[in-house]
């Protein structure tokens, strides 16, 4: 049974990935920050292990992976999904807000990759799937830090795919469009309706839409795909 570790697996896209991986025979561990109830439900309903760890803290990530290695061995599939958004003018952002956004969304991918790469290199196989964003490609007004972090994830993906390809490890990035999760719960119904209308496929995405692509990238069927930035956005933004 392959071991999959999914960060931010207690809600939204990460939760959909965790369930899908468990249903498809993977041994799944999720990392989360504070949703203890959701973590307990994952354990009781799906047999999914959950480790509480703030991925923006390199020491906590080290400790979490030490624990994961002890109880389930090395990681075969890493899904870097944990993330937060920030909406506002860049000029209003404080140093602490910038640092938290970049550490949570981007540096976290470095911390987790650093933990799993040695085991994958020894095994001469492995899958790293990062969750970026269409904003990392196009940029969004009032989401400059978020767009910068997500562009960083795209760059990290492309570079790591070259570094790790000779070791049989694939690294890809999924770029969701607008997906119905808590991250967008601050948007009004009208704003969400307008976003759906501006999407060529005329609807918002679901966490499952993204999870299906992540599951595919983890599978044998995707063994010759690496370094790719794959949009799952119904054509948004066009």
Record the tokens describing residue 232, joined without a space.
């799952």
Question: Is-catalytic flag, 111?
Answer: no
Strand runs labelled E in the chain = 3-7, 27-32, 49-52, 77-80, 126-131, 169-176, 229-232
34 lines the binding site for ligand NDP (CB under 6 A)? yes
Single residue of 19, 64, 83, 213 touching ligand NDP by CB under 6 A: 83
129 lines the binding site for ligand NDP (CB under 6 A)? no
**Cβ–Cβ < 8 Å for 5, 68:** yes
176 lines the binding site for ligand NDP (CB under 6 A)? yes
77 lines the binding site for ligand NDP (CB under 6 A)? no
Q: Show the DSSP H helices in the chain as ranges.
A: 12-23, 36-46, 58-72, 95-102, 108-123, 135-138, 144-164, 189-197, 207-218
13 lines the binding site for ligand NDP (CB under 6 A)? yes
Q: Which stretch binds ligand NDP (CB under 6 A): 3-11, 64-72, 116-124, 214-222?
A: 3-11
Single residue of 72, 74, 184, 198 touching ligand NDP by CB under 6 A: 184
62 lines the binding site for ligand NDP (CB under 6 A)? no
Q: Please identify the residue of the shown chain whose CB is closest to the bound ligand NDP.
A: 12
Single residue of 147, 181, 199, 226 touching ligand NDP by CB under 6 A: 181
In whole angstroms, give the CA distance from residue 112 to residue 96. 22
Kindly write down the DSSP assignment for every residue of 212-233, as one continuous string. HHHHHHHSGGGTT--S-EEEES
In whole angstroms, give the CA distance from residue 11 to residue 137. 24
Give the active site residue among 26, 32, 111, 146: 146
**Cβ–Cβ < 8 Å for 32, 41:** no
Active site positions, annotated: 146
Footprint on this chain of ligand NDP (rule: CB under 6 A): 7-14, 31-35, 54-56, 81-84, 104, 131, 133, 176, 178-179, 181-184
């Amino acid at each position: 049974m392959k071991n999959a570790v999914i960060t931010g697996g207690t809600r939204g896209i990460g939760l959909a990935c965790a369930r899908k991986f468990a249903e498809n025979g993977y041994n799944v561990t999720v990392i989360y920050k504070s949703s203890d109830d959701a973590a307990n439900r994952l354990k009781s309903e799906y047999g999914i292990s959950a480790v509480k760890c703030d991925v923006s803290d390199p020491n906590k990530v080290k400790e979490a992976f030490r624990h994961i290695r002890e109880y389930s061995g090395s990681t075969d599939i890493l899904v870097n999904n944990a993330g937060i958004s920030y909406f506002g003018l860049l000029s209003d952002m404080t140093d602490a807000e910038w640092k938290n956004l970049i550490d949570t969304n981007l540096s976290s991918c470095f911390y987790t990759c650093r933990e799993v790469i040695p085991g994958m290199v020894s095994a001469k196989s492995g899958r790293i799937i990062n969750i970026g964003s269409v904003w990392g490609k196009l940029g969004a007004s009032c989401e400059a830090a978020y767009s910068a972090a997500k562009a960083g994830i795209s760059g990290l993906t492309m570079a790591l795919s070259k570094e790790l390809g000779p070791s049989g490890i694939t690294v890809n990035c999924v770029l969701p469009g607008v997906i119905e999760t808590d991250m967008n719960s601050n948007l009004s119904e009208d704003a969400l309706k307008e976003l759906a209308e501006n999407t060529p496929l005329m609807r918002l995405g679901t966490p499952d839409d993204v999870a299906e692509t992540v599951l595919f990238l983890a599978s044998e069927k995707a063994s010759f795909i690496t370094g790719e930035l794959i949009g799952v956005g119904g054509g948004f933004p066009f």
